[in-house]
Each structure stands twice: as structure tokens, then as C-alpha cells.
Amino acid sequence: MKKDSKILVTGSAGMIGSSLVNTLRNLGYNNLILPKKNELDLIDQPEVDNFFKNNLPEYVFHLGAIVGGIKANSSVPAKFIYDNTQMQLNVIECCKKYSVTKLLFPGSACTYPRLANQPIAESSFLTGALEPTNIAYASAKINGIVAAQSYSKQYGLKVVLPMPTNAFGIGDSFDLNNSHVIPALIKRFHDAKNNNTEILIWGSGNVLREFIYVDDLSDAFIFLMLNYNSDEIINVGSMQEISIKDLAFKIAKIVEFKGVINFDSSKPDGMPRKCLDSSKLAKLGWKSKIGLDEGLQKLNDYYMNYIQK
């Protein structure tokens, strides 16, 4: 990937997409194709085909997707599976048709079996039952991974399939109807602090999760696009775990919330533990740089300075 290569980033307005665009520009990649939603409907196959035909990108980072936490997955599962499947298949087909040099399509840690051995190795893919709370989103991602590998095998399309752990950072959604756990907790703790109320968190709080700051993730994506030449999935994580309960108390401290924190164990927890074995990526020479505490502080500062006002 040269500095003047034509690079398409779908979903460039999202959390990961905007971070990736900033990182690419900082590295000197300025020939970027960044269609907005009103400029390219990824669900519309003829429109996607026409866009590729007119722009002829050389490299594609397909980040456009419908995402959300347990609540969103439970509320609109049909949208998660239909929209994501349609978008990724349209992009993959056009990458083949218009001779894209290389496609990066990220999977998701939720595609691994619910009770996979921990930390989860890439070899665990498709070896067991999925976590029911995000099965629609996970199924769509699995379809995209298998499709990309199939196009690699049948047509020689070069694909990179990173499997990222839970990402968070600036640009994340604080909408409690579809936000992930970290931005949701930051907003809820600020609301509870401002209203002098208690806070109730879904689940027991005992499940373990791994998080990666979004700028680290975008850096890893570029590293893999440049250095990884296999259609085998590869994990991208920090390999640092924390329980949701400890995470909640950590965020409460940052927010300076001093009220009561309760956990509702009648609500679903999701997978009991989810940490990726990213040793394969580490052997290639990449590791995360931004720790959880630093990342949480960055996101909280962003919320206070730009969202809460």
C-alpha cells in the first residue's frame, strides 16, 4: 500500500472508521475515498457496483456495519443480520469484480463459541455454539469471514481478516439504546452523579472482558494490511482482562461518582469470559500501546468536553 494508493474506507464516520482515517492521514496516506451514508448505500447492490466502477479503489477497509450492545442485539436482530450480510457481500463481490488489490474485513470476538477455551485462539472459530445475546450480529460476521475466505480461495482475492476484541474510544455512541458497555457506563455514571441517584447495571458484574482503545485498533488494521498476507483470521486484542464489576468501579472513580452501584443478576451477562489470544499478532511485531486507564480517561474527557455540554 503506497502513500498515493486509492484507499476506500466504508463506515469512515464511525468510531473505528474515523480513527482509521486519522491514522492513515497522519501516516501520509491522503488519497482516501470516504463516502458518506447519503453518498453510498452499502445495502444497494447496483449502487455499490456503480461506486466501485467509478472510483476503482486499490485497497478497501470495509468497516461499515450496524453495531450495538446486548440491548440493541435483542431489539433489532433482523436488522443486524440482514443489513450487515447485505453490505459485506456487496463489497466483497465488487472487490473481486473490480480487481481490488487487498480487502480488510474485520470479524468480531463474538463469533467465537460462548464456552471457548480462554484466552481464545483463532483455531476456536466455528467449533461451538455462539452466545445467544448477539447471535444475529455474530452470524452476519461469520458469513462475511467465510465469504471473504471463499473469494480468496476461488478468485484469488487478497483479504485480511482481523478478529478484534471489544473496542472503545472517541467517536463511540453514548445512546443508551445501542451503545456498548464502556460509553454506556460513562454516560450513566454522569447522569446518576448529576441527578444524585443510584445506578443499576445489567448482569452480575462477574463476567470478564478485554478491551482495546480504538486508536490501537486502527493502527493494528494498517499494520496487518501492510504486513499480513493470509486469509486466515488473526486476533487483535490487548490481552488484559477486567470484570464488568471492576470496570464499573473504575469508571465511577474517574467520573467521581460516589453513590450506590447495584447489579441486576436477573439480566443477561453475555459470554462468561472473552479474552483473545493475540500472540500470533505479537509475533508479527505489533502490540497495543494505550492501556485501559488511559483510554477510559480519554473517553471521559471527550464526553465531558463535547457530549455532556
Indicate which residues carry an active-site annotation.
137
**169 vs 216: CA distance, rounded Å:** 10
Q: How far is CA 274 from the centre of its chain?
A: 14
The grid cell for 27 is 501516516
Smallest CA-to-CA distance from 288 within 232, 211, 197, 184 is with 211
